[in-house]
């Protein structure tokens, strides 16, 4: 079966990146991680990439806090294309992507968000759900578009909010659900890719 070439972008700890790379290594996910790119020089996600012998790179993001400089975004496109990436997987990437990436990888950039979108987009969504008094939240895999946490939904998984939950305990359970859901969602792309290139 032909393996789906993926590129992973992340800014932080990389726990979803680790979950994906573990599934690839175990043979449960017919993908090949070609490159891991971070906008944070010492992000743990880069260390995880090295641990799994995946090519990795730091990309200086420029002066903006929530997005990449246009030339930096063009550089990400170049790096992903050079690596032969078919699907771009965001794993805790804290910057909004714009035209260069969206044009280069139409309907081929996905993200996972810690809420049941369209509810609670944005930062610390689990805290938003807790504050609102919800009894259920979860995580959502979705396509990236020009708006934050907005694109078409691919898959969701519910997580119950327990009476004594804190933000930390709830977030920990959502992350467990993310680590299960994200590789499953990527698996759907692997199947389509294998079928299209058969």
Q: Which domains does the chain carry?
A: 4-196 (3.40.50.170)
Check if the beta carbon of residue 19 is closer than 8 Å to that of residue 47: no
- pTM check: above 0.85: yes
Q: Which residue of the set 86, 98, 113, 142 is catalytic?
A: 113
Residue 171's pLDDT band (cuts 50, 70, 90) = very high
Residue 184's pLDDT band (cuts 50, 70, 90) = very high
Task: Select the more confidently predicted residue: 148 or 11.
Answer: 11
* 120 backbone φψ class: left, alpha, beta (φ>0; ψ -120 to 50): left
Q: CA 38, CA 49: separation in Å to the nearest integer?
A: 10
Return the sign of the alpha-carbon dihedral for residues 64, 16, 179, 187: positive
With tokens 């599934």, the residue in question is 23
Rounded (to 5) percent helix, strand, coil in the chain: 40, 25, 40
Residue pLDDT, tens place only, 32-56: 999 999 999 999 999 999 999 999 9
Q: CA 185, CA 196: separation in Å to the nearest integer?
A: 17
Q: β-strands 153-160, 136-143: how paired?
A: antiparallel
Q: In sequence order, which ranges of 30-124 are alpha helices (DSSP H)?
A: 44-51, 70-82, 99-104
For the question of residue 113 being annotated catalytic, the response is yes
């Amino acid at each position: 079966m032909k393996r789906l070439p993926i590129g992973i972008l992340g800014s932080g700890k990389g726990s979803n990146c680790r979950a994906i790379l573990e599934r690839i290594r175990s043979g449960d996910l017919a993908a090949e991680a070609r490159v891991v790119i971070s906008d944070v020089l010492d992000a743990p996600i880069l260390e995880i990439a090295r641990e799994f012998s995946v090519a990795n790179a730091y990309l200086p993001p420029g002066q903006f806090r929530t997005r990449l400089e246009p030339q930096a975004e063009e550089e990400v496109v170049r790096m992903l294309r050079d690596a032969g990436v078919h699907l771009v997987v965001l794993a805790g990437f804290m910057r909004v992507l714009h035209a260069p990436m969206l044009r280069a990888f139409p309907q081929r950039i996905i993200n996972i968000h810690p809420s049941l979108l369209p509810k609670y987009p944005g930062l610390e969504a689990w805290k938003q759900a807790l504050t609102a008094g919800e009894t259920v939240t979860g995580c959502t895999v979705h396509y990236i578009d020009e708006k934050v946490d907005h694109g078409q939904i691919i898959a969701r998984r519910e997580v119950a909010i327990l009476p004594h939950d804190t933000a930390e305990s709830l977030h920990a359970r959502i992350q467990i659900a993310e680590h299960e859901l994200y590789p499953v969602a990527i698996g759907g792309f692997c199947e389509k890719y294998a079928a299209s290139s058969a």
